[in-house]
Structure formats: C-alpha cells, structure tokens
Amino acid sequence: MTTFDEIKSSFPSLFPESARVECGEGWAGIVGRVLERIAATPGLAEMSHFRILSVRQDLGFMKIDAGYDGIYEDSLRPLFLLAEFRSRVTCEECGQPGHMRSTNGWKRCRCDEHSTPEEREQPPRPAWTLGRDTIKGFLWYDQAADELRIVDDLASIGMPTDFIHRIKKARE
C-alpha cells in the first residue's frame, strides 16, 4: 500500500513535507492520483502555485485543503471532489473497497476486514447517495465508471421520489 510519506517524496513541491495529514494511510493512493493528474497537465502546477496544505478526515470522508491561485478553481475543484467521493468508497485503513459505516454516531469508511462486528452488519448506502446538488445540477459519483457527472434524470440513479421532490423544492 502506498503511504502518504511516499506520495510526499514523489511530489515534494505539490505535497510538501510540512503538509498535515490527519487521516488513515488507506487514502494516500487517492491523493497520489490527484497529484498525478495535476503534474500531467502542462503548466498547471507552476501557474496555479498549487500546494497541499492538509489532508484530513471530516465527517467520515477525506478533505484536501490546498493553496492555489483562485483563477484555477475550475480546473482543480473537480479533482478534489472526485477524490472526496473516492474516499467514501475506499477503506481509510487499507485502501481496499469499503463503504461508510456508523458507530455511535461517528461515520467512517471501512472495508469489512477493518470494520467492527457491528459495522460489518451495515450494508452500503444506495448508489444515488454519492452525490450532491450544485448550481449546475445534481453532481453524482458514478462509482462503476469512476467519474463525476451531472445527472438530470434523478430517478435513473435510483433516487426515491420524496428525495427528488425535496431537491426540486430546494432549487425553487
């Protein structure tokens, strides 16, 4: 399993030694993929002055805090969102497929092996819950395709009717 220290040594200017890591090593690979994409886009890292400030677990999933020139928001923000959704289906301990579990009100993403017996009984949440409403529409993480996309027909991803109504009402 790739560790955060290894990712830092691979991308020392994008992910400096001083960046704080406050989550499990299972998510290091997700951060590595974000940095590979940034490094592979010509000029992006240099022109945006990108650097990670911290990576942390918040409400059970991974949040990347980064410093960069705001005019690059449109290129960088989708990468952080994709990373966040990947962390919702990746065990924070080991990086294997997992899903969000809840113990005493605390949420955490774990594989079966790293779950408590009680957590192991908890099934994955439905696929449609891996998304959020945005000004462009409902942004959904298609786990099978491993990509984010805007979904217009919310019933097509299995969202129950009462949730569809709730979203449409909130948009009014």
* Residue 101 touches Zn ion, criterion: CB under 5 A: no
Closer CB to Zn ion, residue 48 or residue 115? 115
- What is the token pair recorded at 27? 């998510």
In the block, residue with structure tokens 């998304």 = 131
How many beta carbons lie within 10 A of that of residue 155, not counting itself? 11
The only residue of 44, 94, 127, 167 in contact with Zn ion, by rule CB under 5 A: 94
Q: How far is CA 35 from CA 100, 118, 137, 151, in A?
A: 25, 36, 27, 27
Judged by CB under 5 A, the chain residues 111 through 140 that form the site for Zn ion are: 111, 114
In the complex, what is the shortest distance from the CB of residue 114 to Zn ion, in angstroms, rounded to a whole number? Answer: 4
In the complex, what is the shortest distance from the CB of residue 86 to Zn ion, in angstroms, rounded to a whole number? Answer: 14
Q: Are 28 and 4 in contact (CB under 8 A)?
A: yes
How many beta carbons lie within 10 A of that of residue 122, not counting itself? 15
Measured between alpha carbons, how far is 52 from 68 in angstroms, rounded to an integer?
9
The only residue of 91, 109, 148, 154 in contact with Zn ion, by rule CB under 5 A: 91
Region binding Zn ion by CB under 5 A among candidate stretches 2-10, 54-62, 105-113, 163-171: 105-113
Region binding Zn ion by CB under 5 A among candidate stretches 9-17, 71-79, 109-117, 129-137: 109-117
Position of minimal CB gap to Zn ion: 91
Closer CB to Zn ion, residue 120 or residue 165? 120
* Closest residue by Cα to residue 29 from 105, 110, 95, 103: 95
What are the φ and ψ backbone dihedral angles of 85, each rounded to 5 degrees? Answer: -70, -35
**Residues forming the site for Zn ion (CB under 5 A):** 91, 93-94, 96, 111, 114
